[in-house]
Structure 1
Amino acid sequence: MELRRLGACDLQVPVLSLGTGTFGGRGLFSAFGTNGPKEARRLVDICLEAGVTMFDTADVYSLGAAEELLGSAVKGRRDQVILSTKSGAPVGGSGGASDGVHSRLVTACENSLRRLGTDYVDLYQLHFFDASLPLDEVLSALDHLVRSGKVRHVGASNFCGWQLMKSLDSAERHGYSRYVSQQVYYSLVGRDYEWELMPLGLDQNLGALVWSPLGWARLTGKVRRGQPLPEQGRLPRTAAFGPHVDDEHLFRVVEVLDEISEETGRTVPQIAINWLIQRPTVSSVIIGARDETQLRDNLGAAGWSLTCDQVARLDAASAKPTPYPYFHYTREEFPVQEPEPATT
């Protein structure tokens, strides 16, 4: 499994990592999967055999059960894995109160460590940006976690461009630990990441950890023009919670994926994930699996590359009109108005 540096830090991560949204099966996450202790350990075993050593979770996944199951699955082999988790701030209490931001965020991390059964995590990410909280207090708390050895590196998840850049600037001014990564939604049917966050990542040397690489289960190979949605799976149950995708745009992308699948003998998910692996700034693509069959298929996305022609066809099929103000920078030429002749 290819390893890549995560942003500017010393962490080498595999190009594929395993997300644990399918662990636990509580609340909304029951639509993602219901893997218990036995199934979770089996998926982790398969990943380690394939060289996938990074595992991503969050304190909200199945109300903490995902962290507990992941911790149990890696017990006795902590030195073989890279653990990444996420938390929103604040944890409990009133969302707008500034008092206790530091203690609540530190407590949230300590609770995650307890559930994971470890004394540190390799990457601790804020799950979202909370504008109601003093930014410097949040960054100070994260810096404290790094300096205390409970966290090796910090990252951001689902931030807007201005939120991320403001955070990076504040961390630099105060000497706090700097975000090394951003976890982002990115897929062939969701390329918004490319307009602002990707250029920011290139400029600031942030590694991208991609979630939902199959477009919220739309690029599984089971969704096609003229066919009903599959009865099983998360898309019918959770589409309202995920990003909107226009049907015609989706079918146009899927049809090109089908063509390339015939050419390569690869599955539609493997092609969609391989396209992401080749994109700028991407350090690791987070794959999810309800079962062993799905996991092994997704693992087949690494170790090979689409041709330049195949990438170009996927680029063209998935492209959307350039939004303002970015179309100013993507036009090859601007109309030039000739000056009117001088009059005497």
Structure 2
Amino acid sequence: MLPFRAISMFHAAVRAGSVSGAAQELGVTPSAISQQIHSLELFLGTALLVKVGRQIKLTEAGERYFEMISGGVEQIVEATHRLRGYRAVTVLTVRAAPSLSSKWLLPRLGNFIRSHPQLDVRIDGTNEPTNFDREDVDIDLRHGEGKWPGLFVEGLAEEHFFPVCSPVYAAAGSLTPSDFPKHRLIHSVKSMVQWTHWFDTLGIIADRRWDRVLFDRSHMVVDATVGGLGIALESNLLMWQELCDGRLICPIVNPPPITAVTQWIVCPHDRLRLSKVRAFVEWIQVERDAWLADVAMNRRVEACQT
């Protein structure tokens, strides 16, 4: 007879990333989980897991076995819940950089929640990259260069970086690039596109040190610029709403075309087997494509990027 109980506990432990996490999810003791996994290993004649501190790591055989059973176990769970007349509540934990969370993700998140009422969504707003072996995070929307070997990594979108200010501070197209050192320039210190790069692109050498104010979060940069504090160099991804409603404008004509991908969808490859993670990735891809189409169609905002 197949040890179905042991199989389900093994599957739960791998999904949770720890024996204690699986025990909490299933409402049993950690020792019960460990005993069931040990009995499954005896049944199969091979080791499936090894402990690394409080976490667990799959052996090569364990990886193959989890891959083979994962879809079937999830189908059994889903079918059981449907037959009982309800769907289990599952938590989806998304880590996302604070600026991307507040300026791009949160305005769209309601669409995902309404389409997936069975999920409790938790947004963890931090710039710290996730250690998927030790943290209970399903997927990471990460800022950086996209170089994280061993993980599923997909760029969110190509972003356009150009100078913006409040229309109260300066009118659209009223300045020239050489005017900028005479103004207060707002810096996003963690941005991958800085003012020095922008000046170098235009071949501008400032004859004096310009006034500046620095923020370590792009959402603070956007809000400060809307408030008339100065001129910022920022990504259209993070200031899209402010551009569309006219709270931010481009104070020069034909800024240089500076583009970069700085936001990434990141998770372990095996997490993509989980239906909740697949659903979120597919949803954010659709939202991304819709945003790119909106960028292409909005000529008033597009004029700032040409």
TM-score relative to the length of structure 2: 0.28
Which has the greater radius of gyration?
A: 2
Relative contact order higher in (CA < 8 Å, ≥ 6 apart): 2
TM-score relative to the length of structure 1: 0.26
The structure with the greater share of residues assigned to strand is 2
